[in-house]
Structure formats: C-alpha cells, structure tokens
Amino acid sequence: MSRTCVCGKSISLKRQLCGECLEIYGSNKNEWPGWLKWAVNDTQRVINAERRHDELTIFDDEYFLPNKIRKTSPCFEKDFEDMLWSNQ
C-alpha cells in the first residue's frame, strides 16, 4: 500500500500531504479548501478499506449472524462418510 499526495507525489502512509503541499496549505485541516479535505479523506477511506478488506468479510452473511450460531456437541457414532454427507 502506498499513498499519493494531491499533487501526485508518493508519500508515506503516515502523512497526508507532501512537504511542498504542507507549506502551501498548512497543517491545520480546518484551513484547507473543501476540495483538499475531500481528496485527503477519500484517499484515507480507500486505504482503510484495503487494510480492513471489507469486501472479503463473511459476517454479512445471514448464516454467520450471532443469533444464528448454534452450539453443537460432538457425535462420535458417525464415521467420516456420514459427516461428509450430513453437511450437504
């Protein structure tokens, strides 16, 4: 993962703007123009989504909802073939 400044330069993930842009716009977000705030926040949203892998989560599936989880006890009478076909 990498981050690019709004001017197009590569910067570290910990920074939001490169040195030149920090000199131009300052480090106070409240003084930034609206387009700059949006661009920085949008880049951060993309980085957060990549970090969390939201598109790969299984917990949106109704099978995995907490109220659907059932506790089961082991059944030792079944052999492997029975267990294989009972999941179908």
pLDDT, tens digit, for every residue of 19-38?
999 999 999 999 999 999 99
Place of tokens 């995995």: 64
Q: Is the pLDDT of residue 70 over 60?
A: no
Mean local confidence (pLDDT), 48-67: 66
β-partners of residue 10 are 4
| pTM passes above 0.85 | no
Amino acid 16: pLDDT:
92
More confident residue, 68 or 27: 27
Which residues lie across from 4 on neighbouring strands?
Answer: 10
**51 within 8 A of 44, measured Cβ to Cβ:** no
Of the candidates 11, 12, 7, the residue with the CA atom closest to the CA atom of residue 39: 7
Domain ranges across the chain? 3-86
Alpha carbons 79 and 53: distance in angstroms, whole number: 38
Tokens of 16: 């939001």
